[in-house]
Chain A
Amino acid sequence: MSKYALRRLIQMIPVVLGVTFLIYALVYALPGDPTAGKCGERPCSPAYVAEFRKTYNLNDPLPLQYVKYLGNVVQGDLGESQYGQPIRDELAERFGTTFKLGVVALVFEVVVGLLAGVLAALRRGGFLDNLVLVSTLFVIAIPVFVTGRALQLYLGVRAGLFPATVSFEPTWFELLLPGFVLGSTSLAYLARLMRTNLGDNLSADYVRTAHAKGLSTRRVVGVHALRNSMIPVVTFIGYDFGALLGGAIITEGIFNVPGVGQYVFRAINDRDGQVVVGTVTALVLVYLVANLVVDLLYAYLDPRISHD
C-alpha cells in the first residue's frame, strides 16, 4: 500500500511538470504586451519595460523561462502579482475561503444527495423515487448561474433569509447559500448515482444471501448493500471535492466570494500571467493529492482492488 502511494507520488511529477508547462506556454502565447496598462493612461517608460522583462526573464527563450520559474516555485516562491503582492500569501488566504465553501458544498452534496439516492433506491418506482428523478434532472438541466442568481434574488434579496453576498472573510453562515448553489449539480448526480448503484446491489445475489441469513432489513441494506454501493460513490465524491477545491468561478463570481476561482478569473482578465500559472500549479497539486486519496480509499472499500 505505501509502495503504491509512493509510486503514485512519483507519477505525479511528470503530470505536474506537463500541466504547469502547458499553462505557462499558453499564458506566454497570449497576445498583447504584458506591460500594457501597467503605467496608467500612458505607455510605460522604456526603463520600466526593460526592468519588467528582466525580472520575469521575458528575454529568455520559453523553455529557459519556464525552468527559471520552476526553480522559484520549488523554493516556495510563486512570484508576485502585478500589484506587487506575493501570490503565495494571497493564494493561502483565498484557498482557506475556497476550502470552506467546498466543505459546505460537499456537506450538502453528501448528506442530501446520498439520502435522496438511498430513499429513491428503496422505493424504486414509487413517488419518492420519481420525485428524486425529476427534481435532480431539473437541477442538472438548469445552469448554475441561473440557480445562483435566482436563489440570490429570492432567498437573499427578497426574503432576506441569507446574505446576498459574502464579506471579505466569510463566515460559515454566509457561505450556506453559495455552498448549496455550488454543490447542487453534484448533489443531483450523486443522488442518481447512489440510486442506481444501491438499486442494482439490492437485487444482487449476496443481498439475497444476507436476507437468507435472517438479518434485519436495516442490516441487509445498511451494511451489505450500502457498503458495495459506496465504491463508485466515494470515487465520485473524492474527485468532486478535488474539483471544488479548484474554486468555482461562477458561484464565487455571483456571491462575490473571495476565493481561488475569483482570483484566477480576475488574473486571466488582467493578463496577470504570474498569478494564473502560480494558482493553477497549486490547484493541480491539490487535485492530484485528492485523486490519490480517493484511489487509496478505493482499495480499502473494495478488497478486490489490490495496490500491491
Chain B
Amino acid sequence: MTTSMDSRADRPRPGETDRLLEVKDLHVEFHSREGVAHAINGVDLHLDRGETLAVLGESGSGKSVTAQAIMGILDMPPAVIPRGQILFQGRDLLTMKPRERRAVRGAEIAMIFQDALSSLNPVFPVGWQIAEMFRQHRGLNRSDAKAQAIRLMELVNIPAAKERVNAYPHQFSGGMRQRIMIAMAVALDPKVLIADEPTTALDVTVQAQVMDLLKELQAQFHMGLILITHDLGVVADIADRINVMYGGSIMESADVRDLYAHPGHPYTQGLLDSIPRLDMKGQELYAIKGLPPSLMRMPSGCPFHPRCAHAQDVCRSEFPPRVELGPRHESACHFAQEVVRG
C-alpha cells in the first residue's frame, strides 16, 4: 500500500505548492503488558492550504490517534511510532528536535478537542489561558498578551470579552467554552487546525454555531482544517474531502460529493446506509453487523472482512491495495470496482 501511495504523491497536481501536511505510511502502536495494540497501520493523508479534510470513523478507528500523532502529543511511551513520516511544509515533524517541534505545536499546527470544559484548565482565567500562547511563543508581556486575548475572544464572538477575560472556564456555557478553545487554537494564526470532534459534546443548535465559526475562521485565515468526527451530517456541510478510517487504516478517500454519491468501500456504504432518513421513517435503521476490531487482535487481511457482506477468501489473507475509482477517489477494497457500481 505504501508504494501505491508514493506514486500518487509524486504526481504533480494543481495546488501542489499549497501542500501543508503530508502523512506517509504512519504506524502507531501502544505497548502495554497485555501486548501491542496496533492503533494506526500505515495511514497516508495530505492537507492543502484552505482545504477541509474530514477524517471519519468509529471510536477506535484511529482517527484521534492520527491527530495526536500529528500534534506530537501522544504519550510516548506507551505509544511508539515505528514507521512513517509527518511532513509539515516539507519538514518531517517526527525527526525534529523536541524544541523545534514545540515551536510548531500550537503555533503552526493547533488543535481543539471534544470536551472544552475538561480541556480548559479549571483554575486559570480563560484570558490567561489564551494569553499564555502569546507569552510563551511570542514573549509578549502580560498586558499586551491580555489585549491579544481580548481581541481573540471578540474574534470568536464572545460577548463582553473585555469583562469576561478574567472569568474561569466553569463560568461559561458549553458553546462559549468551545469558542474559547478555538480562540486559543487560532491565537498564533496556525496554518493547520485539527478539530477532534469539536461539537460532539454540544447541543445541536450550538453545534451549528460552532461549525459556522470554524468555517468562517478557516476562510479568514486560509487554514488547512482537519475535522475528525463520526458524524456524517457535520461532514457533508463543511468538508472538501473525506478520509474514512477503519481499524487504523484509511479505507476510502474521496471528495465529499463523490463519496456520498458513489461510495467505493463496503464500510462507507454501511455508514451512509445507517444515517436515519425521513423517507425511511418507521423502518428499522440499518446497522453494520458486528463490532469494530480489537486493536490487539487485528483480523488478517482486510480489517473490515469479518463484518463485510462482500468478503471473499482474498479479503481474509491480503490487505487490499488502493484502487483508484476516479479523480481523487481511492478505495482500499479488493472489490472496489464492484462496490462502486453497486
Contacts and interface: CB of A to CB of B under 8 A. Distances in A.
A209 B121 contact: yes
Contacts of B303: none
Interface stretch (B107-115, B262-270, B328-336): B107-115
Nearest to A300: B123
A251 to B, nearest CB: 36
Interface stretch (B129-137, B220-228, B238-246, B286-294): B129-137
Contacts of B121: 206, 209-210, 224, 227-228
B309 interface: no
B102 A204 contact: no
Which of A206, A213, A216, A301: most chain B Cβ within 10 A? A213
A219 B124 CA distance: 14
Contact of A214 (B104, B113, B168): B104
B105 interface: yes
B73 A303 contact: no
Nearest to A204: B118
B184 A205 contact: no
A301 B121 CA distance: 12
B115 A228 contact: no
Nearest to B184: A213
Given A215-B132, A304-B170, A209 B120 contact: yes
Contacts of B122: 206, 228, 302-304
B103 interface: yes
A307 B137 CA distance: 36
Nearest to B104: A214
A205 B106 contact: no
Q: How large is the interface on A (under 10, 10 to 19, 20 to 34, 35 or more residues)?
A: 20 to 34
Contact of A209 (B102, B113, B136): B113
A213 B106 contact: yes
Contacts of B181: 209
Contacts of B102: 214-216
A214 B104 CA distance: 7
Contacts of B317: none
A208 interface: yes
A166 B105 CA distance: 58
A214 B119 contact: no
A304 B107 CA distance: 30
B71 interface: yes
Nearest to A202: B75
Contacts of B105: 211-214
Give chain A's interface secondary structure class: helix
Contacts of A224: 121, 124
Contacts of B103: 214
A303 B170 CA distance: 9
B137 A205 contact: no
A302 B71 contact: no
A212 B168 contact: no
A89 to B, nearest CB: 45
A208 to B, nearest CB: 6
B118 A206 contact: yes
Interface in B179-214: 181, 184
B73 A227 contact: no
Contacts of B120: 206, 209
A304 B117 CA distance: 12
A208 B119 contact: yes
Nearest to A228: B123
Contact of A213 (B118, B124, B125, B136): B136
A228 B168 CA distance: 14
Interface string A292-308: 00000000011110000
Contacts of A227: 121, 123-124
Interface in A209-236: 209-216, 219, 224, 227-228, 231
19 contacts: A206-B118, A208-B113, A209-B113, A209-B120, A209-B121, A210-B121, A211-B105, A212-B113, A213-B136, A214-B136, A216-B136, A224-B121, A227-B124, A228-B121, A228-B123, A301-B123, A302-B123, A303-B125, A304-B168
Q: Which 4 residue pairs spanning A and B have beta carbons closest together?
A: A214-B106, A214-B105, A205-B118, A213-B106
Interface of B: 71, 73, 102-107, 110-111, 113, 115, 118-125, 132-133, 136-137, 168, 170, 181, 184
Given A214-B106, A215-B132, A302-B123, 5 more contacts: A205-B115, A206-B118, A209-B113, A209-B120, A227-B124
